[in-house]
Amino acid sequence: MRKERKRVNYTLLFMALSGFIFLIIFNYIPMFGIVIGFKDMDYVLNIKKALKASDFVGFENFIAFLKDKEFKNIMINTLGLNLLQLVITFPIPIIFAILLNELKLPKFKGAVQTITYFPYFISWVVFGGIILGMLSPEGGVINQILLSLGVIEDPLLFNSNPQYFWWIIIFSSVIKGLGWGAIIYIAAIAGIDQSLYDAAKVDGANRFHKNIYITLPCIAGTIVVMLLLSISGLLSSNFDQIYIFQNPLNLTRSEVLDTYIYKIGISQRRYSFTTAIGIFKSIISMLMLSSGHFVSKKFFGRGLF
């Protein structure tokens, strides 16, 4: 018997197509907009007209960015801050999840989870505003603590001195993302087969051994995926966070690619120049993600998919 040819299910097609059309409009058409990066359209008044009329200039905008006097500083800030942030903030939720798992009182454990998730849902504007206040030389609690401990003699100008900027970003990220970042590891730990621990106990393993030899290897897959995703984001900053802490006095350490694109592209209307920077960023991120994927597949046998 020959199988009857299936009828096309038009309802399903319509449902999927409506999402498809959305992506075409808001994701794929802007991708074609990358031609702006290869044209000379800076400072034009009518972008739509200029899109047709202006000339192609090849890679001029990219070269202009590489030669830009801000380039070196921005790349140092973007990569330096993100790398430092990765090294410090990546392991913390993992350690937190393991410690939480070791906590004996179930009710207290639940309370810790609920409370540590909370800062994640507060906007960076609010959280940043509070941290700025706490760091302030007038009425700020941090300076007061340092003063009374005798660590410093005069209040530190955290918000205007560029040298503190990276540390403020990292520290505020840790507090805000600690609980939420741990959820995925908590879920992974909860999924570990209990009999593994029982077997280890029979073999005489203590709690430290159990975590090193069972918990960590069992959640290694999750860790690798999260690490790869973070590596691909090394050129992207959390705009909301940087923007709220940034001010004209700390620009030397606080200007990153994303804030620069916003400032030059939207405020100063250098459309081609910033589109070129955006392409530069996207391509490097794609390269980092794919090379990270292949390296980890080769050496650890697991990648993103």
Based on the shown chain and the rule CB under 8 A, indicate whether residue 189 belongs to the binding site for other proteins.
Answer: no
Based on the shown chain and the rule CB under 8 A, indicate whether residue 94 belongs to the binding site for other proteins.
Answer: no
Contacts with other proteins in 156-185 (CB under 8 A)? 157, 159-160, 175, 178-179, 183-184
Residue of 1, 8, 45, 202 interacting with other proteins (CB under 8 A): 8
By beta-carbon proximity to other proteins, the closer residue of 33 and 76 is: 33
| Rounded-to-integer distance, Cα 234 and Cα 144, Å | 35
Q: Please give the structure tokens belonging to residue 291.
A: 């090379």
Based on the shown chain and the rule CB under 8 A, indicate whether residue 134 belongs to the binding site for other proteins.
Answer: yes
Q: Please give the structure tokens belonging to residue 141.
A: 């609690």
CB of 122 to other proteins, least distance (A): 6
Look up tokens 């409370």; give the residue.
115
CB of 108 to other proteins, least distance (A): 7
Based on the shown chain and the rule CB under 8 A, indicate whether residue 11 belongs to the binding site for other proteins.
Answer: yes
Based on the shown chain and the rule CB under 8 A, indicate whether residue 301 belongs to the binding site for other proteins.
Answer: no
Give the bridge partners for 56, in sequence order. 39
Give the dihedral of Cα atoms 255, 257, 260, 264; nearest 10 deg: 160
Based on the shown chain and the rule CB under 8 A, indicate whether residue 74 belongs to the binding site for other proteins.
Answer: no
Q: Please give the structure tokens belonging to residue 249.
A: 């006095």
CB of 181 to other proteins, least distance (A): 10
Based on the shown chain and the rule CB under 8 A, indicate whether residue 252 belongs to the binding site for other proteins.
Answer: no
| Rounded-to-integer distance, Cα 17 and Cα 11, Å | 10
Based on the shown chain and the rule CB under 8 A, indicate whether residue 244 belongs to the binding site for other proteins.
Answer: yes
| Rounded-to-integer distance, Cα 241 and Cα 170, Å | 10
By beta-carbon proximity to other proteins, the closer residue of 20 and 300 is: 20
Based on the shown chain and the rule CB under 8 A, indicate whether residue 104 belongs to the binding site for other proteins.
Answer: yes
- Listed ranges 63-71, 82-90, 113-121, 211-219: which one lies at the site for other proteins (CB under 8 A): 113-121
Give the bridge partners for 39, in sequence order. 56
Of 225, 221, 156, whose CA–CA distance to 189 is shortest? 221
What's the full length of the chain, in residues?
305
- Residue 3 is which amino acid? K
CB of 113 to other proteins, least distance (A): 8
